[in-house]
Structure 1
Amino acid sequence: MISIVFIITLVLLVLYCALIFTYRYWLARLKNFSVNYSLDSKTTFSIIIPARNEEENIDKCLSSIFNNNYPADLYEVIVIDDDSNDNTAAVVQQFQSQHKQLRLLHINDLLNGEKINSYKKKAIESAIHVANSNYIVTTDADCIVSENWLSNFDNYIQQTGKKFIAAPVSFIDNDTFLGRFQCLDFLSLQGITAASVSAGFHSMCNGANLCYEKDVFFKVNGFSGIDQLASGDDMLLMHKIQQQFPDAIGYIYLKSAIVQTLPMLTWKTFINQRIRWASKATNYNDIRITLVLWLVYILNVLLLATLVLAFFHPFDFIYWFALLFLKTIVELLFMQKVATFYEQESLLKWFAVMQPLHILYTVVAGLLGKFGKYQWKGRKVK
C-alpha cells in the first residue's frame, strides 16, 4: 500500500518538476520592458487605496506616492476608509492639507446599511464611480511604490495600448523566520506570474500593483458576478476582462515597477491571508490554472501523507527525503532566477529548511480556503 502511494507521488512529482522547468524556460526568455524616455507624460490616473486599520502604514504609502516623478496634475489619490477603528482617516486628512489631489471616502457612507461579503471590492468600485481619470491604479495601504511607478504605467500604456496592466510585487524582508517564509512563498507566485506572461497567457496578478482603464472596468460590469467573494478584486477581475478583451492584458516586467509590501507579523494573520487568497481558487475559469492548482495541491497532500506513513515504516523515510530533495532542487533552479530579479537572493539559503513547513501550509490553507471561514482585519469572512 505504501509503495503504491510513493509511486503515485513520484509520478506527480515528475510532472510537477517538468512544469517548474517549463516555468523557468519561459521566465528566462522574458525581456525587461524598455522605457521610452522621449515620451511625454499624458495618461491620467486615479490611484485607489482601500484602507482598514492602517494608521501605522498609510503615511509611508502616501509619501511614496507623492514622491513620484509624475506630474501632479495628471493623477489623483482616493483613499477609502473601510470602517477603521484606529486613526487611519486622521493620517490621511493630514496629507490632504498638503496635497489637493487627495480625497478621502468613508465606506459607511456608501453602504446604506447593505450587508456585503467583500468590503474591499465595494470600496474600490465606489471609488471608481467618482474617479476623474481615464485609468485606475490600485495599491494597498501598506505598500511602498517607486518614484517611477506612475511614469512606468504611462510609458507602457503609450507604447502598448493595453487596458489592464499588472506589475510585480515583493514582500519586504523583516529578518524574521515568518517574514522570510512569506517572502519565499510570494517570490514563487510572482515568478509563475511572470513566466506565464512570457508563455502568452496571464494566470495571476496582485491588487497591490494594478492599472486598468476605467471604461473597460464598466464594460465588463465591474465586480458583478464575483462580488460574493471577499477576495478576487485582482485576479478574478483580470479574468473577466481577459474573456471580453483577450488582447488587452499586459505586464510590466521591470525592476523599477516593483511595489513593496509588508509581510504578516503573526502566523494567525498570515494563515488568514493565505486562506483568503485560496478561497477564490475554485472560481477561475481558465482550465490551465485549475489543472496546475490541482497538481500542486494533490502533490503536497501526497507528500504530507507519505511523511505520515513513513513513521510506520521508518525505512520509507529514505524515499520521502529523496522526493523532497528532488522537489527542492528543481524549485531552487526556478527560484534563483526569480530572486535575482527581485534582488532577494540572500533568502534562498532558507529555502530548503522551509520546505516541510511549506508543504503543510499549502495543504491547510487550500483546505480551509475551500471549506473554512477566516478573519481578516477584525471581520469574520466566509
Structure 2
Amino acid sequence: MTTVSIGIPSYNEESNIKTILESVLDSNLHSINLSEIIISDDSTDNTPNIVNQFMKNHSKKIIFLHNDKRRGAGNAWNDIIRNATGEIIVLYDADVKPNPDCTLELINKINNNVGICASNPRAIPSKGIPAQGTIFVGDWLESVRRSHLCDYTVMGRGLSIRSDIAKKITIPETLISIDLYLQGKVMEMGFDVVFNPKAIVQFQPAKSFVDFCSQVIRATKGHSQLKKLGYEIKNQLTLKAAIVEFIRVAMRNPNGAISTCLCYIMIPFYMATVKNLDSALWHTARSTK
C-alpha cells in the first residue's frame, strides 16, 4: 500500500488553515494510506490555536511544527520533507482548497520515472479587474501547460514528489521560486516532471491591484534570482507561442484579457510600494486570503 505525507507551509493563515485541513482529510484516497499531515508554521496570528484545536477534535495524524520567527516557504518545505515518512509527499499552499480527487490524482502520476507531478490551480470566480486578470492568467498558464509549450511545469499551489528524491534536496532559505528550484533538481537527477490537469486546486484570486502586481513581480524576481545562481530551466516559452495562447484564451474570455492588460499597466506604479521584492519573506497578498 502506497503511503503519503501531506505538507502545508503556513504563515498567518487563520482564515484558511481549517479549510485546507478539512479538504485534505475529506480527500478520496482509496487504497492510499495517509501517514501524516505536516504543518510548518511561522504564524503570529491565531493559526496555532486553530490547528491545535483541530488536532484535538479531528485527527491525531497532524504534526504541527511552529516557529516564532518567519523563515519563508523554502525553510517550511525543508522541514516538511525532513519529517515526512510517506513514500510520496504532497505539498499544498495553506490558502488553497484541493478538489476531493486532487491528492489521488497527484499521487497516481508518480512512478519509477516520474519524480514530480504538478497540480492544476484554478482561481475561484470573483468580480473586479484584478480578480479577472488573475483568472485569465491562470487559464493562460493552464493552456500553455496542456499544450506542452514550456518546461515551466511546477508553478506552486500543489504538487507531489517522491520522498526518496525530495530528501536528497535542500532548498536555499533565501529562494523565492522554490517550486521551479525543486523541479530543476528533480530533472537534473534524470526524472520526469509532469502536469496533471485533473489535479485541481482552487484558490482565491488577487482582488487588489497591489496584490496582483506583487505576485507578478515576485514571479519575475524569482526567475531572475535563479538565473543569478546559474540555474535555469531550458525550453522557455517563445514570444510567438505566448501571444498565440493569449489570443486563444482571450477569445474565450475577452473581459479577462482586458483586465490582465490593465493590471500589467499598473505594475510600474506599484514597484516602489511593494516591500521585500527580492526576499523569500515577500509581501503577503491579503486579498487572496
Question: TM class by shorter-chain length?
Answer: 0.7 to 0.9
Query: How far is 1:151 from its partner?
Result: 2.0
3-state SS in 2 of match to 1:190? helix
3-state SS in 2 of match to 1:150? helix
Pick the aligned partner of 1:235 from 180, 203, 217. Answer: 180
Amino acid at match of 1:127: I
Query: How far is 1:185 from its partner?
Result: 1.7
* Structure 2 CA distance for partners of 1:330 and 1:65, relative to 1, 3 Å: closer
Residue by residue, what CA displacement relative to the aligned partner does 1:38-66 show, whole Å, maximum 9, x if unpaired?
xxxx3211111111111111111111111
> Aligned partners of 1:359 and 1:179: how far apart in 2?
13
Partner of 1:119: 72
Partner of 2:283: 376
Greater fraction of residues in helix = 1
* Structure 2 CA distance for partners of 1:190 and 1:367, relative to 1, 3 Å: farther
Regions of 4+ moved over 4 Å: 361-369, 371-375
Pick the aligned partner of 1:76 from 24, 36, 58. Answer: 36
Partner of 1:39: none
Partner of 1:59: 18
* Contact 2:3 2:87 (8 Å CA) reproduced: yes
* Structure 2 CA distance for partners of 1:137 and 1:170, relative to 1, 3 Å: same
Partner of 2:248: 333
Residue by residue, what CA displacement relative to the aligned partner does 1:126-165 show, whole Å, maximum 9, x if unpaired?
121111111111111111011112222333235x752211
3-state SS in 2 of match to 1:168? strand
Greater gyration radius: 1
Amino acid at match of 2:197: Y
Map residues 66-105 of structure 1 onto 2, 5 A cutoff.
66-70=25-29, 73-82=33-42, 84-97=43-56, 98-105=58-65
> Aligned partners of 1:240 and 1:52: how far apart in 2?
26
Query: How far is 1:253 from its partner?
Result: 2.7
* Structure 2 CA distance for partners of 1:88 and 1:353, relative to 1, 3 Å: same
**2:145 equivalent to 1:193:** yes
Query: How far is 1:367 from its partner?
Result: 11
TM-score (norm 2): 0.82
Residue by residue, what CA displacement relative to the aligned partner does 1:328-351 show, whole Å, maximum 9, x if unpaired?
x87232455xxxxxxxx5xx1413
* Contact 2:118 2:196 (8 Å CA) reproduced: yes
* Structure 2 CA distance for partners of 1:361 and 1:281, relative to 1, 3 Å: farther
TM-score (norm 1): 0.63
3-state SS in 1 of match to 2:100? coil
> Aligned partners of 1:163 and 1:138: how far apart in 2?
14
Amino acid at match of 2:122: S
3-state SS in 2 of match to 1:280? helix
Greater fraction of residues in strand = 2
Query: How far is 1:202 from its partner?
Result: 2.5
Residue by residue, what CA displacement relative to the aligned partner does 1:287-344 show, whole Å, maximum 9, x if unpaired?
432x74xx59xx9xxxxxxxxxxxxxxxxxxxxxxxxxxx6x87232455xxxxxxxx
Partner of 1:6: none
Partner of 2:208: 266
* Structure 2 CA distance for partners of 1:356 and 1:335, relative to 1, 3 Å: closer
> Aligned partners of 1:65 and 1:139: how far apart in 2?
9
> Aligned partners of 1:356 and 1:251: how far apart in 2?
27
Map residues 173-188 of structure 1 onto 2, 5 A cutoff.
173-188=125-140
Residue by residue, what CA displacement relative to the aligned partner does 1:66-87 show, whole Å, maximum 9, x if unpaired?
11121584342111111x1211
Structure 1 residues not aligned, in runs of 5+: 1-41, 300-326, 337-344
Partner of 1:132: 85
Percentage of pairs with the same residue: 23
3-state SS in 2 of match to 1:238? helix
Partner of 1:288: 235
* Structure 2 CA distance for partners of 1:361 and 1:278, relative to 1, 3 Å: farther
Partner of 1:310: none
**2:170 equivalent to 1:222:** yes
3-state SS in 2 of match to 1:186? helix
Amino acid at match of 2:194: G
3-state SS in 2 of match to 1:56? coil
* Contact 1:278 1:365 (8 Å CA) reproduced: no
* Contact 2:3 2:34 (8 Å CA) reproduced: yes
**2:29 equivalent to 1:44:** no
Q: Which of 170-179 and 123-132 deviates more?
A: 170-179
Amino acid at match of 2:232: N
> Aligned partners of 1:195 and 1:367: how far apart in 2?
36
* Structure 2 CA distance for partners of 1:188 and 1:238, relative to 1, 3 Å: same
> Aligned partners of 2:250 and 2:118: how far apart in 1?
20
**2:237 equivalent to 1:277:** no
Residue by residue, what CA displacement relative to the aligned partner does 1:168-205 show, whole Å, maximum 9, x if unpaired?
11111222222111111222223223322xx5x63232
3-state SS in 2 of match to 1:376? coil
Amino acid at match of 1:46: S
> Aligned partners of 2:64 and 2:245: how far apart in 1?
47
Query: How far is 1:353 from its partner?
Result: 2.8
* Structure 2 CA distance for partners of 1:368 and 1:202, relative to 1, 3 Å: farther
* Contact 1:64 1:147 (8 Å CA) reproduced: yes
3-state SS in 2 of match to 1:234? helix
